[in-house]
């Protein structure tokens, strides 16, 4: 906006607004300030002063912007009479002119905008037209490019065909050239049989050996195929076939000579460790029978296969100087050391083979096969000498078990060697299968040898036990015949330690079965056979032990019967017989205890076998249908003989106990015990001496039964013994006559017996002794009360009738007639 002089009046202002004032960062406040700054300079100054001096010196600012002093009242009065805003008219005129100018500017701008829009529309139409023309041109250009690309493709295909034809023609030319060369060389070999002196320099130049070998192989292959087809040769001679046969013979001779020359060079380089020369020779030799001769030659010349000292060293390391001193632990240690040495040697050879041979896997296969078939087999043949089942080696020399342990150690260590060799590398060789074949002859008869070994160990153990028993019997002969026999019998007792040793043998055998048997069916069959050996051994051992214990019971019974005497003998004879009867009773009690110990150890032995079956055998049999059930049935069958011996022995034990009970009752029971005189003295309420002795004996002797027996066996034994005791007491009391005081004494004895048998935990026996207590009442009540005594228990009337006949007053009170009428009613 242009400047104006301040002297001009407001009405004559020529306000001109410039279009530039509205460009850029437009601010209305700035525009307004520029308009009024010329008219209000004093206002700006006063406003500035007012802003700087506000509130200073007691001045006050008036509403119109002027400043007054609080002490100048006169000036204040004058100010009220002057105009408040004298520039207002000029400002109004300025604003009107400015408004008019603004309207004019807007019109100018609208006009210019209209012209610009029109011009833009025109240019846009031209631009659209130009774009359409360009699009048409581009489409045409794309069509041209497509035609060009198609042409280029066609030319390229043609060029490729031409190239293929040229390549094929070149290959044919090269083949023809090589064929011409081969025919020329074939004609040289066709000259005369065995004549190799006129050959081209190629076949005698050591620097071109590889080329000569390749050509010789091609010629021999061509000639052999031609002869095999019977087609006339291209050589063109009348005797073509004969000529090719000559060529084949000469080529074979040359190839053999060349192969031998290369092998000699290979050996020389091998001794000097020149791997590059060895590799070159091996590569050339690979053209002869795929290099098999070179591979086999290299493996065969390894020191471990040709040095006899190596073989002897292997034997000394594993077996020792004398094979009889070898033990499985020493052999295992020696095999570990030897096989580690072999693995290290093979690993070193593998490094050389990888650097030399073009087909290292084939060479490694040959090397590992040679190691197993020659070095390992030679050692195993010396280590494992199969024993004869007809005349096995004695146990003192290790027996069959030593061979089986050696076999297991050798097999396990050789399997580890096979795994180590597989890790080093053995090509396509089935090293595990080859290792198995080394032991096939031994594994074929393994099950029979294992069972024969267990039988041999069992027989040796029995002989050892018999020898110990004989030795003890002889050494104890000085302490008395009966006591010595008892000591010897104790040494023939069943031993849980011996049965545990049987199980340990079997467990070791099962571990070998697992080692040698890879198939579940084979393993199950071998395990079943070996476990059957254990069942037979344990069954025979415990059955023999029970039978020996029964023999003691039988001898004690015979001893008792020997000293049974009649009634009419002298006092001296009776005393001697009583002393002998005491000795027989002691022998019977000793044999009873021995049999109970045998029963207890028998049960422990069977439990050991059952636990062993559950923990170690059953899981090996489960994969095969029916194997587990069959073994369980065999176990039950094997133990049946022992069960039979145990049952007979327990019956003999009851007979032994009852015989001693009867002896004590006969010796200690007095007629006056149950018919005491009526002397006015108080009755004796203590048990009789016979009762006390019998209960003490039973308590003492049955301690062994309570310890040895358990479960249903214990219950059945005690129930049978209780029934026999009840029956024996009834028969014993039939020999006596009872008065009322004797009846009370009898009832006291019955109570004592009843309290003892209550420890049997046999309800039927307890009931029988309770009924005995009721029966004893027939001796206590008055005759007239007998009829009411059994009203609640009619089942014991028969026994009651027998007891009533034992009353002292049975005849005097005429109880027979009274009871007959009572029983009939």
Distance CA 67, CA 48 (A): 12
Residues 330 and 438 in one domain: yes
Are 776 and 810 contained in the same domain?
A: yes
57 against 768, higher pLDDT: 768
Q: What is the dihedral of CA 812, 818, 819, 824, to 10 degrees?
A: 160
End-to-end CA distance of the chain: 164
Q: What's the Cα-to-Cα distance from 288 to each of 200, 275, 308, 366, 602, rounded to whole Å?
A: 21, 20, 31, 17, 76
The answer to whether the CB of 379 falls within 8 A of the CB of 457 is no
CATH assignment at residue 712:
1.20.58
pLDDT at 783 over 70: yes
Mean pLDDT of 619-640: 90
Assess whether 573 and 713 both reside in one domain: no
Model confidence pLDDT, tens digit, residues 149-166 = 888 988 988 888 888 888
Residue 106 has pLDDT above 80, yes or no: yes
Q: How far is CA 24 from CA 2, 27, 728, in A?
A: 18, 9, 143
User: Is the predicted pLDDT of residue 234 greater than 80, yes or no?
Assistant: no
Quick one: pLDDT at residue 4? 41
Cα–Cα distance measured from residue 508 to residue 530, given in angstroms and rounded to the nearest whole number: 10
SS3 781: coil
Which residue from 456, 434, 274, 287 is spatially nearest to 368, judged by alpha carbons?
A: 434
Q: Is residue 264 part of a domain?
A: no
Same domain, 549 and 412: no
**Does some domain include residue 15?**
no
Asked which of 187-201, 260-274, 429-443, 476-490 is least confident by mean pLDDT, the reply is 476-490
Angstrom distance (rounded) from CA 452 to CA 509: 11
Structure confidence at residue 572 (pLDDT) = 65
Residue 585 falls within a domain, yes or no?
A: yes
What confidence tens digit (pLDDT) does each residue in 162-196 have?
888 888 888 877 777 766 666 666 655 656 555 55
Structure tokens at 284: 């050339």
Q: Are residues 760 and 813 in the same domain?
A: yes
pLDDT, position 584: 84
Instruction: Say whether both 372 and 338 belong to one domain.
Output: yes
- Residue 807 has φ and ψ, to the nearest 5°, of -65, 145
Q: How far is CA 746 from the centre of its chain?
A: 71
Most confident of 46-60, 712-726, 769-783: 712-726
Average pLDDT over residues 479-500: 64
Q: What is the mean pLDDT of the chain?
A: 80
Q: Say whether both 433 and 513 belong to one domain.
A: no
Residues spanned by the domain of 443 = 302-455
The lowest-confidence range among 560-569, 675-684, 740-749, 810-819 is: 560-569
Same domain, 651 and 732: no
The reported pLDDT for the residue numbered 541 is 94
For residue 752, is pLDDT > 50? yes
pLDDT at 202: 56
Shared domain check, 609 and 744: no
Q: Residue 69: in which H helix or E strand, if any?
A: strand 67-69
* Residue 214 pLDDT level (bands cut at 50, 70, 90): low
pTM for this prediction: 0.68
Which range is most confident: 157-166, 315-324, 561-570, 591-600? Answer: 591-600
Q: 39 in a domain, yes or no? A: no
- Provide the pLDDT confidence category of residue 12 given band limits of 50, 70 and 90: very low
pLDDT digits (tens, 9 = 90+) for 641-664: 899 999 999 999 999 999 999 999
Q: Is the Cβ–Cβ distance between 488 and 472 less than 8 Å?
A: yes
Smallest Cα–Cα separation from 340: which of 263, 417, 242, 250? Answer: 417
Whether the per-residue pLDDT at 198 is higher than 50: the answer is yes
Looking at the domain assignment, is residue 809 inside a domain? yes
- What pLDDT does residue 643 have? 92
Got the DSSP string for 162-212? Answer: HHHHHHHHHHHHHHHHHHHHHHHHHHHHTSSTT--TT--GGGT-GGGHHHH
Tokens standing for residue 53: 């001096």
Confidence of residue 108 (pLDDT cuts 50, 70, 90): confident
- Residue pair 783/815 in contact (Cβ under 8 Å)? The answer is yes
Residues 656, 718, single domain; the answer is no
| pLDDT recorded at residue 36 | 79
The verdict on residue 193 lying in a domain is no
406 plus 498 within the same structural domain: no
How many structural domains are present in the chain? 4
Is residue 815 within 8 A of residue 786, CB to CB? The reply is yes
Whether 295 is in a domain gets the answer no
Question: What is the chain's length?
Answer: 825
155 part of a folded domain = yes
For tokens 């396509």, the residue is: 428
Write the pLDDT tens digit of every residue in 552-579. 999 988 887 765 544 455 566 666 667 7
Cα(455)–Cα(373) distance, integer angstroms: 34
Q: Are residues 513 and 649 in the same domain?
A: yes
Q: Over 70: is that where the pLDDT of 77 sits?
A: no
Looking at residue 761, its pLDDT comes to: 93
The rounded distance, in Å, linking the Cα atoms of 258 and 87 is: 132
DSSP 675-710: S---SSPPPP-SPPHHHHHHHHHHHHHHHHHHHH--
Q: In this model, does residue 118 exceed pLDDT 60?
A: yes
Query: What does the block give as tokens for 718?
Result: 């005690």
pLDDT over 50 at 503, yes or no: yes
pLDDT at 8 over 50: no
Domain boundary among 619, 636, 668: 668
The predicted structure's pLDDT at residue 479: 44
Are the CB atoms for 226 and 233 separated by under 8 Å?
yes
Q: What percent of the chain has pLDDT over 70?
A: 75
């Amino acid at each position: 906006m242009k400047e104006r002089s301040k002297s001009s009046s407001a009405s004559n202002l020529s306000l001109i607004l410039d279009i530039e004032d509205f460009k850029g960062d437009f601010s209305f406040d700035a525009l307004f300030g520029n308009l009024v700054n010329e008219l209000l300079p004093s206002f700006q100054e006063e406003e500035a002063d007012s802003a700087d001096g506000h509130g200073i010196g007691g001045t006050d600012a008036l509403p119109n912007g002027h400043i007054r002093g609080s002490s100048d009242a006169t000036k204040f009065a004058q100010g009220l009479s002057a105009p408040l805003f004298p520039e207002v008219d000029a400002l109004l005129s300025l604003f009107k002119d400015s408004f008019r100018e603004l309207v004019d500017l807007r019109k100018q701008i609208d006009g210019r905008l209209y012209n610009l829009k029109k011009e833009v529309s025109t240019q846009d139409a031209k631009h659209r037209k130009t774009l359409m023309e360009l699009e048409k041109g581009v489409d045409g250009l794309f069509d041209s490019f497509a035609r060009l690309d198609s042409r280029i493709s066609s030319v390229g295909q043609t060029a490729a065909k031409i190239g293929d034809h040229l390549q094929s023609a070149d290959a044919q030319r090269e083949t023809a050239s090589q064929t011409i060369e081969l025919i020329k060389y074939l004609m040289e070999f066709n000259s005369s049989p065995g004549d190799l002196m006129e050959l081209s320099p190629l076949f005698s130049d050591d620097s071109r050996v590889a080329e000569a070998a390749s050509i010789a192989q091609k010629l021999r292959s061509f000639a052999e195929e031609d002869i095999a087809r019977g087609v006339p040769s291209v050589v063109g001679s009348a005797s073509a076939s004969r000529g090719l046969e000559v060529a084949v013979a000469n080529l074979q001779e040359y190839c053999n000579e060349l192969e031998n020359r290369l092998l000699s060079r290979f050996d020389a380089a091998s001794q000097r460790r020149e791997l590059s020369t060895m590799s070159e020779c091996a590569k050339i030799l690979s053209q002869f029978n795929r290099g098999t001769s070179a591979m086999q030659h290299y493996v065969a010349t390894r020191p471990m296969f040709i040095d006899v000292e190596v073989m002897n060293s292997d034997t000394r390391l594993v077996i020792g100087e004398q094979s009889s001193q070898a033990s499985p632990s020493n052999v295992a240690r020696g095999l570990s050391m030897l096989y580690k040495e072999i693995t290290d040697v093979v690993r070193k050879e593998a490094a050389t083979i990888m650097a030399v041979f073009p087909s290292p896997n084939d060479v490694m296969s040959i090397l590992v096969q040679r190691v197993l078939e020659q070095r390992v087999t030679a050692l195993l043949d010396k280590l494992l000498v199969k024993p004869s089942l007809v005349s096995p080696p004695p146990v003192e020399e290790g027996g069959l078990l030593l061979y089986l342990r050696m076999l297991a150690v050798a097999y396990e260590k050789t399997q580890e060697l096979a795994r180590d060799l597989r890790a080093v590398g053995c090509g396509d060789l089935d090293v595990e299968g080859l290792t198995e074949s080394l032991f096939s002859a031994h594994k074929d008869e393994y099950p029979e040898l294992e069972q024969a070994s267990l039988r041999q160990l069992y027989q040796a153990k029995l002989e050892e036990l018999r020898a110990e028993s004989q030795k003890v019997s002889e050494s104890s002969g000085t302490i008395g015949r009966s006591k010595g026999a008892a000591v010897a019998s104790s040494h023939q007792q069943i031993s849980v330690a011996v049965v545990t040793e049987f199980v340990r043998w079997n467990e070791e055998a099962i571990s070998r079965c697992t080692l040698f048997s890879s198939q579940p069916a084979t393993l199950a069959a071998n395990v079943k056979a070996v476990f059957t050996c254990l069942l037979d051994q344990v069954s025979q051992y415990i059955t023999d032990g029970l039978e020996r214990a029964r023999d003691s019971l039988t001898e004690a019974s015979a001893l008792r019967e020997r000293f049974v005497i009649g009634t009419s003998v002298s006092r001296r004879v009776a005393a001697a017989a009583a002393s002998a009867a005491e000795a027989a009773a002691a022998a019977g009690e000793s044999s009873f205890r021995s049999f109970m110990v045998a029963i207890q150890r028998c049960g422990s032995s069977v439990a050991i076998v059952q636990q062993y079956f559950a923990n170690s055998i059953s899981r090996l049999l489960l994969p095969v249908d029916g194997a587990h059930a069959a073994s369980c049935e065999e176990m039950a069958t094997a133990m049946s003989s022992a069960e039979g011996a145990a049952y007979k022995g327990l019956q003999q034990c009851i007979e032994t106990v009852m015989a001693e009970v009867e002896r004590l009752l006969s010796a200690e029971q007095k007629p006056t015990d149950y018919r005491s005189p009526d002397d006015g003295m108080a009755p004796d309420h203590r048990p009789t001496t016979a009762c006390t002795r019998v209960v003490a004996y039973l308590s003492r002797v049955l301690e062994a039964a309570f310890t040895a027996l358990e479960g249903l066996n214990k219950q059945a034994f005690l129930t049978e013994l209780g029934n026999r005791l009840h029956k024996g007491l009834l028969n014993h009391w039939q020999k006596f006559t009872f008065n009322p005081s004797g009846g009370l004494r009898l009832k006291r004895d019955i109570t004592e017996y009843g309290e003892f048998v209550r420890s049997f935990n046999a309800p039927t026996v307890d009931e029988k002794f309770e009924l005995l207590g009721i029966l004893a009442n027939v001796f206590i009540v008055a005759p007239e009360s007998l009829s009411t005594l059994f009203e609640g228990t009619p089942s014991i009337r028969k026994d009651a009738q027998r007891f009533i006949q034992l009353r002292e007053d049975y005849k005097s009170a005429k109880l027979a007639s009274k009871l007959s009428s009572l029983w009939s009613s």
